[in-house]
Amino acid sequence: MLNILLQAQGQQSNPWSMVIMLVLLFVVFYFFMIKPQRAKQKEQQTFRESLKEGDKVITAGGLYGKVKKVDSNTVLLEIADNVRVTVDKNCIFASAAEATPTNESK
C-alpha cells in the first residue's frame, strides 16, 4: 500500500510547470494577437485625425466620398454631385486613394 502511494506521489508534476505554461501562453497570445491589433487601431486613429478637406475616403458602409468638412467628431462627405452626408469619424475606414473600387462605372 505504501509502495502505491509513493508511486502516485512520484507521478505528480511540478505545480510551477503549469504556471510557466500559462505565462508562456499569455505572452504568445499578447505578441501575436493583442499587440498587432493595438498597432492597427493606433494607425486608424492617426489616419482619422489627419483627415482634411479634399481627401477621398471609404466609409465602413462602403461609401466612397470626398471630404468637404471636418469637425471634431464628424465628417461631411460628398458622395455624388450635390449629395452630402455627415458621418462619424469612427466610420471612416480607409483612404480611397490607396484602394480602388473593383467595379467602376463609366
- Non-local (6+) Cβ contacts of 13 within 8 A are none
The gap between the terminal CA atoms of the chain, to the nearest Å, is 88
Mean pLDDT of the chain: 83
Instruction: Give yes or no for residue 104 having a pLDDT over 60.
Output: no
The structure's pTM equals 0.64
- The pLDDT tens digits of the residues spanning 33-68 come to 999 999 999 999 999 999 999 999 999 988 999 999
Lookup: cell for 5? 502511494
Residues 94, 71: Cα–Cα separation, whole Å: 18
Amino acid letter for position 105: S
For the CA atoms of 60, 66, 69, 72, what is the dihedral angle to 10 degrees?
30
What's residue 16's pLDDT? 86
Looking up cell 465628417 gives 75
The predicted structure's pLDDT at residue 106: 44
pLDDT digits 0-9 by tens, 4-37? 544 555 556 678 888 899 999 999 999 999 999 9
Give the residue-averaged pLDDT of 69-76.
93
